[in-house]
Amino acid sequence: MNLLKNQTKNRANRFKPGQSGNPAGRPKGSGLVGQLRQQLSDAAPDIVAKLIESAKAGDSTAMRVVLEKLIPNQKPQLPPLAISIPDGSLLERANAVLDAAIKGDISPDQGAAIISMGNEIARLKEYEELEKRLIALEQKAQKS
């Protein structure tokens, strides 16, 4: 029983908070992944040349790889919208966006994006209000 307590106590005092047990650490690139990356880096020019050569020779897989690297897939972009959102609470505005999506005035993806932006605005307003309240409480505490 005492032996277990001593081991637990030694573990608790082994390292101080914020200090590494091995400050120098393992050198970067010294493991297997680092070695593989170095080998790939050394061979990259030859690999790329062979890939281009294969693509020119008609290898469709090589063509696809070359094209994917030259012309990456584009993320879909939503076009700008011209919808009317009435003044009011954030909930009323979100309901107006939902109604526009239901009527087909905007796509569901566009509606979701607009409501998501509204959520971010609400969160920022909440942070702003909390900051103001905190400042007021700190000023009140300093006066006391």
Enter the pTM of the model.
0.42
Burial class (CB in 10 A: 0-12, 13-18, 19+), 14: exposed
Tokens representing 89 are 């609470």
Q: What is the pLDDT of residues 67-96, one digit of tens each?
A: 888 887 777 776 777 778 888 888 888 999
Burial state string for 56-78 with b = 16 or more CB within 10 A and e = fewer than 16: eeeeeebbeebeeeeeeeeeeee
In the predicted structure, residue 6 carries a pLDDT above the cut 70: no
The rounded percent of the chain whose pLDDT value lies above 90 is 30
Query: Residue 78 in contact with residue 113, Cβ under 8 Å?
Result: yes
Tokens representing 61 are 């897989």
